Each structure stands twice: as structure tokens, then as C-alpha cells.
Amino acid sequence: MVTASHEASHRIFQERPEILAPVFGLLGVPIPAKAKVEVLTPDLTEVRPIERRVDSLLRIEPSEGASFLLAVEAQSKRDDRKGDSWPYYIAYLRTKYRLPVLLLVICRDRPTAAWAAGPFICGVDGWTAQTTHPLVLGPDNVPVITDASVAARDLAMATFSALTHAHSRDVPAILDALARALRATDDKTAQYYIELLDIGLGDTSAGATWRETMSVITYFPGRGSFREEAYLEGKAEGKVEGEVAGLVEAVARVLDRRGVALTDAQRERILACAELDVLHQWLDLAVCVTDADALFGEGDTQD
């Protein structure tokens, strides 16, 4: 099942392609300092009724040298079916785009990272027809960034560090450094990374730490984040308050227009009521009672 944390682990490569240069440096794969990055459709489905999707797919066009494709997969645990699908992705993309293909797998724990490195071999009786060697980013090769000045210089990598080391004992220090770095950046950029981490860390203890650290509530629709939930909760409360105010005014206005006298205490009781059910009942009664006592069930409700 695709989760929000799964999405955050690979979408950062689509939305912040500047992370590619330091990432390729970590992997020991040379890439020119200047390159055009294009996000391609991740749909690898053929005409046959078999749907296959890579998590993210980028076309990278260096200012010098040949273009290539980067397929990015976020992997939370070992899945032996990937030994079949990953070679397929590479072969399909190579055939479709006529470009070299690299596969990058993002892992949050060492056992999954060790497995994802492969190689994944296809062959019979010692004869190898195809071998797949994914590039892997995980706790062993993604730096632990706990210095706010370092985080500020590369917010994308600092965020990726927090996502990758979400289950590490170092994550509180990483999040603290990132929080301090975000205070020095512009609001739009800060909100993007705050939201990405909120979604990416999910219900982990690191996610709870991040929510505690971040006190500013912002609204990002459709994500199901704590900021959205807080916003929607506040919006719902505001809607209820508005409905209460409208009903209070309606009850008092109907009684006044019908000439039903209210004592100061009775008027105050109406104005102080915040229960929608009670106010709806009072409004129904207000059109027929002959005295205010009947409104509160203390007298005759008939004309």
C-alpha cells in the first residue's frame, strides 16, 4: 500500500531536483554540476492488462555529456517481487526512451538497504542473461545532518536526511537542526519542508517530535497532515459558532416580532446558549408560544 511517508521519500526528487547533485556524490556516480531535470510519467503500463509504476521517473540532461533516466523507488521493507519488476522497469524504460537508465532505491533501514543493493540476477544453470544493480540510499550512506548551518546550506538534503534516519536515535538532533535552519528561510520554502516532513515522518516517534517542534499551523489541502486537520477542525468550529450566533439572533428576533416579552434573565439565557439542538427547538417554539416561560418548557406552548 502506498503511504504518505512512501510518497515523501521519492517525491522530493521530483520537487527539489537540486538534491540530485549531493545524492549522486554520496553514491559515487559522477554527474555534471549543471543539468536539466525533467519529471516524466511514472506509468510503465503496456498494452497488456498489467499495470506497473515506478515511484518517480526523471529525465536528466547534463549540460555536457549524454542524457539518462533516473527511476526512483522508495522501499520500506524487503519485497522479493521487486527482483522481477525492477529489471523490467529498466528494460522497458531503455526500450521506450532509448536512453541509459539508473535505478535508485531509497531505504530507511539497513536490512532493506542491504537487500535492495542486489544484484538481482536472471539466468539458468549459472548462465546470466541479465543482472540488475540498483543504486541504494539508506542509513549507511546518507549523512546525519545535525548542524543548523549545514542544514541551511542544503535544505533538501537535510530533509532527506531526516526522512532516511527517521528510525535512528539521531533523528531528534537532525530535526532540531532543520527546524533552526528553516527559521532563517522564506515562508514558502519553510512551509514546503515542514509539510513534507510532517507527511513523510507520519505516525512515527520522529513525526511526533516534529509536530511538537513545529508550532506554526499552516494549511495544505488534501494531504491529511496535522496542519490540515488543525485547519479543518478550526474551520468546523468556526462554522458551528456562526450557526449558533445565527440561531440565537433568530430566536430573539422571532419572539420580539411576535411581541413575546423576555425578562433580562431569559434573554441572557438565549444569548448564552451554544447548543444547536436546543436552539433549533427554541426557534420552532418561538413561532407559537404566547409567553417566554413556554419556550423553556415552563408554561403553555399553545396560542
Q: What is the mean pLDDT of residues 104-125?
A: 90
CA distances to 70, 96, 103, 275 from 23, rounded to whole Å, are 12, 26, 13, 57
Mean pLDDT for 181-197 is 86
pLDDT attached to residue 102: 93
**Domain boundaries in the chain?**
1-142, 144-216, 228-295
| 22-26, 55-59, 191-195, 214-218: least confidently modelled range | 214-218
- Phi/psi of residue 190, nearest 5 degrees: -60, -45
